[in-house]
């Protein structure tokens, strides 16, 4: 799935996503998404995962990017299940 598709599905799960919603690149947007959808990142070495929604994201080079991506992937799975 492309980053654009992930972001669109995450926005769908979020509901009325604000304009400029960029949870893959913006920590604040990712945090708001996680809080609204009750998503809790779990950290292990060397990855971060989110519940049962997604496989781990390696954070060897950038733990912030990996956390945002894990949150967005989980939200996209939620968005996929919505009609």
Q: Which is higher by pLDDT, 60 or 10?
A: 10
Burial of residue 12 (CB within 10 Å: 0-12, 13-18, 19+) is middle
The set of residues, in sequence order, having a beta carbon less than 8 Å from that of 36 and lying 6+ positions away, is: 14, 15
pLDDT (0 to 100) of residue 80: 92
The band of 51, judged by pLDDT with boundaries at 50, 70 and 90, is low
The set of residues, in sequence order, having a beta carbon less than 8 Å from that of 51 and lying 6+ positions away, is: 39, 40, 42, 74
Q: How far apart are CA 32 and CA 10, in angstroms?
A: 11
Residue 18 has pLDDT above 80, yes or no: no
Q: Which is higher by pLDDT, 36 or 60?
A: 36
**pTM to 2 decimals?**
0.83
The band of 35, judged by pLDDT with boundaries at 50, 70 and 90, is very high
Copy the structure tokens of residue 32.
């708001």
């Amino acid at each position: 799935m492309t980053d654009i598709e992930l972001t669109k599905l995450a926005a769908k799960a979020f509901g009325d996503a604000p304009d400029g919603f960029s949870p893959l690149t913006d920590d604040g947007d990712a945090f708001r998404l996680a809080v609204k959808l009750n998503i809790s990142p779990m950290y292990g070495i060397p990855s971060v995962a989110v519940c049962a929604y997604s496989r781990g994201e390696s954070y060897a080079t950038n733990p912030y990017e990996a956390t945002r991506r894990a949150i967005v992937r989980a939200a996209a799975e939620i968005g996929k299940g919505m009609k």
